[in-house]
Chains A and B, each alone.
Chain A
């Protein structure tokens, strides 16, 4: 996915992708499919600080700030976490921090999949977002 896209454009692209699938199951399977692009973190980056508290399965998210750009890398352990992380990192990672802070997370519902997630998975998403916005605020403070 091109990094030239805005976050909103990336959400729109995912919406178009998910709309191709006729059933909820197919849409969820596409999330697993996205997980094939999932990358891992070196062990030394999997710390208490990077652990996504509240995620249904073990997951870590590393956030860094470089020249006003929020750099994010993550690793999930379940198939769903791998897929969701891949999807969410496509949307949130390597964006200007202002864009991340101005992005309304409710827009994620436009993709038509958030509501298909189980309540536990929705909590995982909230946990991920909390961590992303935490990193984003820190990045902004650093100037």
Chain B
């Protein structure tokens, strides 16, 4: 197994509340890992911890990405290295044009990788192709980032960012929440397009519905700040039937 990310004994709190309590998780490169668990288990805190979100204070443990510790890296450094988080609740930023935002992010990454920056026309060509695939209107180009977007539009916009930035580890925090069936299908299509056997996905979800569209390789059950079970996709129907209480710890 080729490990792209290793989370070892991570302990983290938000405010005074200790949420992750010595969590261990290994992500196999090129695989789809689903994180499932009840409300309050620490799923979103885990995703924020990986990307270095300012909400989270890490009090113990380590995270290595491609063999290097990232625990002291700033969020932007982690992003430049190829770690991407699709937010559960994407923020609205009035006055910041969606296309400018995305092009700036992409060009920062390209610069980091020693590639030439894309000019506005080259970028728009790239963006328009993805917009069409995601069923997004072309006015998304000139609208302010997420401002006045519906829930589905915000989630599509997160996937648009993912498609443009082409990250290596992709964390999808409840990407299915607030999506109708058509939006779910389009978002899943965008995600599946990125599956190339090299990129690694961490799909955080309450429900198994999204896993009908994005086939997982591993299911990790998170409970009370720890991964209590790791299994193959056969665990999903069991969870559907018995819930999380029926899970026996590994």
Measuring CB to CB, which residues of chain A are less than 8 angstroms from any residue of chain B? 17-18, 20-23, 26, 29-30, 33-34, 36
Contact = CB atoms under 8 A, between A and B. Distances in A.
Given A22-B139, A29-B120, A30-B120, 7 more contacts: A18-B121, A20-B121, A23-B142, A30-B119, A33-B120, A33-B121, A34-B119
Nearest to A13: B121
A30 B141 CA distance: 14
Contact of B119 (A22, A23, A26, A36): A36
Which of under 10, 10 to 19, 20 to 34, or 35 or more describes the interface residues of B? Answer: 10 to 19
B120 A22 contact: no
Nearest to B118: A33
Main secondary structure of the interface of B (DSSP, over half): helix
Contacts of A26: 120, 142
B124 interface: yes
A22 B121 contact: no
B124 A20 contact: yes
Contacts of A34: 119
Contacts of B139: 22
Contacts of A20: 121, 124-125, 128
Q: What 8 A-B pairs come out closest when comparing CB atoms?
A: A17-B121, A20-B124, A33-B120, A30-B120, A33-B119, A22-B142, A20-B121, A30-B121
A21 B119 contact: no
A30 B121 CA distance: 7
B138 interface: yes
A21 B120 CA distance: 9
Contacts of B120: 21, 26, 29-30, 33
Nearest to A31: B120
23 contacts: A17-B121, A18-B121, A20-B121, A20-B124, A20-B125, A20-B128, A21-B120, A21-B121, A21-B124, A22-B138, A22-B139, A22-B141, A22-B142, A23-B142, A26-B120, A26-B142, A29-B120, A30-B119, A30-B120, A30-B121, A33-B119, A34-B119, A36-B119
Contacts of A17: 121
Interface in B107-152: 119-121, 124-125, 128, 138-139, 141-142
A30 B138 CA distance: 18
Contacts of A36: 119
Contacts of B142: 22-23, 26
Contacts of B119: 30, 33-34, 36
A23 B138 CA distance: 12
Contacts of A23: 142
A139 B121 CA distance: 34
Nearest to A20: B124
Contacts of A30: 119-121
B104 to A, nearest CB: 12
A68 to B, nearest CB: 31
A14 B113 CA distance: 28
B15 to A, nearest CB: 43
Contacts of B128: 20
A23 B143 CA distance: 12
Nearest to B142: A22
B225 to A, nearest CB: 47
Contacts of B124: 20-21
Q: Which of B119, B121, B125, B141 has the most CB of A within 10 A?
A: B121
Contacts of A22: 138-139, 141-142
Nearest to B141: A22
Interface string B83-124: 000000000000000000000000000000000000111001
B60 to A, nearest CB: 46
